[in-house]
Amino acid sequence: MIGTLVRAAPRAPILWLSATAVTAVALAAAIIGDDGALVALQLSIVALAAAAVFVLEEPPLPAVPVSKAHRRVLLLAAGLPVLGLVWLALLRLGGVDAHEAGALTLQLATVTALSLAAGSVTPVALAFCCGRLIFGPGYFPAGTEAAGWSGATGWWAGAACAGLLWLAVTSRD
């Protein structure tokens, strides 16, 4: 059954978004350096969240007699580890340290959970980008700002949990 669901998921946009994120981080790291790579990593958060949303976009499969929640769990179980490997490669390409990687990964988890729950990355991406501009590095750290970011981690973790709860509610038949 999981093979049928995976084959039905749209792979082209997922691969395109992942490849775009990898290319952007690699080019930014090579051309601009570490600061450019960190900005590219934050932008790649939006691309990977969009790819995760595509994982859940399945055509109607009348031959698969499972609930919507069960189908979503199977699709996410198959798709998220692959996107996780892409994220690890992006962190490696960006050359970030452990503090930066932790902050960026929490941001990725939050943006992805909220995007999956909303069924679209657009409103979450707009809020994420506007928040970076409005609230600045205190809540959206990049680079050396990530080391002093401990006050915002609770807000990000709470938002990620709210997104997962929202996803669970919207996954009911």
pLDDT digits (tens, 9 = 90+) for 110-135: 999 999 988 887 888 888 777 777 77
Residue that has been written with the tokens 């657009």 in this structure = 122
The distance from CA 123 to its chain's CA centroid, rounded to whole angstroms, is 14
Region of residue 59 (phi > 0: left; psi between -120 and 50: alpha; otherwise: beta): beta
Q: What pLDDT score was predicted for residue 145?
A: 59
Task: Name the nearest CA neighbour of 166 among 91, 101, 95, 115.
Answer: 115
Q: How many domains does the chain have?
A: 1
Task: Name the nearest CA neighbour of 7 among 55, 73, 62, 68.
Answer: 55
Q: What pLDDT score was predicted for residue 60?
A: 62
Quote the domain boundaries for residue 76. 2-170
**What are the tens digits of pLDDT across the range 50-67?**
999 888 876 666 666 677
Tokens standing for residue 154: 């609770």
What residue ranges of the chain have pLDDT lower than 50? none
Quote the pTM value.
0.81
